[in-house]
Chain A
Amino acid sequence: MASLDDLKKRISSVKSTQKITKAMKMVAAAKLRRAQESAEKGRPYSDKMNNIILNLSNGISDIDNAPKLLSGTGEDKVHLCVVMTSDRGLCGGFNTNIIKKAKLYFQKILDEGKTLKIITVGTKGYDQLKRLYGDNIIERISFKESKNINYFDADKVGKIVIEKFEKKEFDVCTIFYNQFKNVITQIPQEQQIIPLKTSEKDENSSEDNYEFEPEEDEILSNLLPKNVSTQIFKAMLENSASEQGSRMSAMDNATRNAGEMVDKLTIEYNRSRQAAITKELIEIISGAESL
């Protein structure tokens, strides 16, 4: 059995760990509120953007001349995956969930004999993927220095993707991120952004005849690259809210577990202390009796 001193040390060490996790939980909760707010504020932009693109693409008559970003290159050989993870750890299953989802997809692509290229956003994703898919990773981006998620960071990623697309380095682009549902649930998502999927054709999206200035295709070819950045930005916002939510619940669990551990150790400590006292008493009494 551990000595009293050892138990004491363990209790105090668990207690200080608990203090840290508690503080982290509180910080995550404060950050979560902010992240959630900005995720909500960012929604109108991407929604409107989607709407306009939908209206535009409905208006396009000959699909052959449509911009490549919308219709695709006509091939399906090289897949680019943008995996978005966090820069920091200690956030429960957050990164692992995205990676798991992404790995499933990677396996599918490779099994079909297609070429796989990966861009990682956030250092944790790179760490987890470099062993298995190190050769496939063509770019790694991290925004450790930026304090808040801002559009210009997303735009940077978007520009890299567009540039590679224009150089015909890939045919299909998919992004992976965690969608924020609530503090406990985050759903890993895969979303294809190039070519754009316009599956959700709204029946009641007006058949209005828009006036376009300049021509539709020109607007579209201007708009689509922006949409890529917007989608990435939206994913980044969702991701940051998810990260904080995930961290908060992970740290909450850790704090609770530490509390349980302290209770258990305290009981053990008290028992062994009592046992020691009893032992001493017995020794004294039996010593006195023998006199």
Chain B
Amino acid sequence: MSEEYSLEIVNPEKSFLSKNDVTEVVVPAFEGEIGILKDHISLISFLKPGIIKIFSKSGEESFYVNDGIIEFKDNNLSILTSLILNLKDIDKEKISEVQKSAEEQLNKTDMNDQEKYLLDQKLDVLKSIN
């Protein structure tokens, strides 16, 4: 029995990545990391800034995402995100840029707890990969 399912990652500009031989995907969901295997129950959730890990027949890949929504249905996983970067060929400058703007935002006082939490998360992740 095969244990693969298909994955599609789209950002507003284009379809970023599409794979048919994925065995497991670990996503940074809002309430904690979720690992998704084949025949998972239909699921909708949204993401906090973090790392997506994709395990497939052809190897393992990691991506940084800023935010996003995931939908899993009939063994199709869709990830919608506004900013996604491949960790393998990541641009250090780009990371610092994102990090800087996040820090600037954090210094502004007018935000609610949820926003602050998300920004903190973002900085932690960025620091860990930089």
Additional A-B contacts beyond A44-B10, A150-B13, A206-B73 (12; CB < 8 A): A42-B14, A44-B8, A45-B80, A48-B10, A48-B71, A151-B11, A151-B12, A151-B13, A206-B42, A208-B73, A209-B42, A211-B42
* Chain A, Cβ-Cβ closest to B41: A211
Cβ of B43 and Cβ of A213 under 8 Å apart?
A: yes
The dominant DSSP class at the B interface is strand
B30 in contact (CB, < 8 A)? yes
> Do A212 and B80 touch (CB < 8 A)?
no
Alpha-carbon separation in the docked complex, A233 to B14 (Å): 12
On chain B, the residues within 8 Å of A150 by CB distance are: 13
B80 near A49 with CB under 8 A, answer yes
User: Which chain B positions have C-beta within 8 A of A210?
Assistant: 42-44, 73
A53 to chain B, nearest CB (A): 9
Interface of A is mostly: helix
Contacts of B31 in A (CB 8 A): 213-214
A56 to chain B: which residues have CB within 8 Å? 44
Residues on B with C-beta less than 8 A from A42 are: 12-14
Instruction: Say yes or no: is B34 at the interface (Cβ < 8 Å to chain A).
Output: yes
Q: Name the distance in Å between B47's Cβ and chain A's nearest Cβ.
A: 10
Which A-B residue pairs are the 6 nearest by beta carbons?
A41-B14, A151-B12, A213-B45, A210-B42, A45-B10, A211-B43
Taking a contact as CB atoms closer than 8 A, the residue among B41, B44, B46 that contacts A55 in the complex is B44
Residues of A close to B10: CB separation below 8 A: 44-45, 48
Chain B residues within 8 Å of A222, by CB: 46
Does B82 touch A at the CB level, under 8 Å?
A: yes
B30 in complex: contacting residue of A44, A48, A214, CB < 8 Å: A214
